[in-house]
Structure 1
Amino acid sequence: MIREAGLEDAAELARLITLLGYPTSPEEMASRFAKIHMKPDYQTYVYEEDERLVGMIGMIHSFHYEKNDTYIRVVAAVVEADRRGKGIGKSLFMHAMRWGHRKGAKAIVLNSGNRKERQETHEIYRKWGFEGAATGFYKKITTQDLGLK
């Protein structure tokens, strides 16, 4: 069953985000998700089986600078390893697209790391119709960058 995530799901969301490769404690997720949950341009869906979360997708409804359409940016998506290949991820993405459509979004986008363990996932995205059309960059902001000590 897919449903909207609630504040009571923080511990399970922490477990899933950790599976995604971003170690997170239940306390950290409770703090993060309390902020995310109150923002109307954010949405989190979870896939629940037997009272256990086995997958999640978190996204943001965003605006372009370069055109008038809006889009959905998937920020996090994960399905437990032993539940993959059963349509859970695709169902979560369909819910994300329906939510985006209701918001007026014309596209759904995501970034996925160029790590070896993500290659299989990249192939799934291509199978679902996603195009690998961009290269992402990131840089941590340091006090040295800002001229601060």
Structure 2
Amino acid sequence: MTIEVREVLPTDYIDLVELMSELGYPTTLVDLTERFETIQKHEDYQSLVAVKDNQIIGFAGLCKAFTFEFSGLYVRLLAFVVSSKQRKQGVGTKLLKACEEWALQQGAVAITLNSGNREERQTAHLFYKSNGYEGKSTGFLKKLTEVLKDE
């Protein structure tokens, strides 16, 4: 089994719709294409896929940033998913290592991520911990479009 990790291509978008749904981000091809076209224009972002037998089986989306917490550039892993049919086969580890390599190439001193607190995310938490990540915080989200509707 050979797994290749490479940058996302527009021809990958249709396969990514299903993976994003598995991640808990249901979307349409039109919406996903629009997002990727916007993201790909920014050099601080990177989008990677894991490919096996010409099938997209994993996805990672990353972004470079700075923080008030410590000095230096860091990379935030914004999205990370491996097909439920391909888990426990080393795909996630290979994809995560590729993310870390990209972060190091950018001069990052750290890599961070958020993972949902839902019960079904516990396996993902164990995966991250087994790869050297430690739980540090709980993330929060407020959709500003909802605030604007209320005004």
2:104 matched to 1:101? Answer: yes
Structure 1 residue runs of 5 or longer lacking an equivalent are: none
The corresponding residue for 2:135 is 132
Structure 2 residue runs of 5 or longer lacking an equivalent are: none
After TM superposition, give the deviation of residue 67 of structure 1 in Å: 3.0
Which of 44, 64, 68 is the aligned partner of 2:47? Answer: 44
Which of 10, 15, 18 is the aligned partner of 2:13? Answer: 10
The corresponding residue for 1:123 is 126
After TM superposition, give the deviation of residue 65 of structure 1 in Å: 2.7
The corresponding residue for 1:67 is 70
Aligned CA RMSD, in angstroms, stands at 1.3
TM-score (ref. length: structure 1): 0.93
The corresponding residue for 1:87 is 90
Instruction: Give me the whole-angstrom Cα distance separating, in 2, the residues matched to 1:90 and 1:8.
Output: 24
SS in 1 for 2:148: coil
Which of 128, 141, 148 is the aligned partner of 1:143? Answer: 148
After TM superposition, give the deviation of residue 144 of structure 1 in Å: 5.9
Q: Write the deviation string for residues 75-121 of structure 1: whole angstroms up to 9, x where unpaired.
A: 11101112101111111111111111111101110000000000011
8 Å Cα contact 1:6/1:37 also seen in 2:
no
Instruction: Give me the whole-angstrom Cα distance separating, in 2, the residues matched to 1:28 and 1:55.
Output: 19
The one-letter code matched in structure 1 to 2:33 is A
The one-letter code matched in structure 2 to 1:12 is D
Q: How many residues align?
A: 146
8 Å Cα contact 1:44/1:58 also seen in 2:
yes
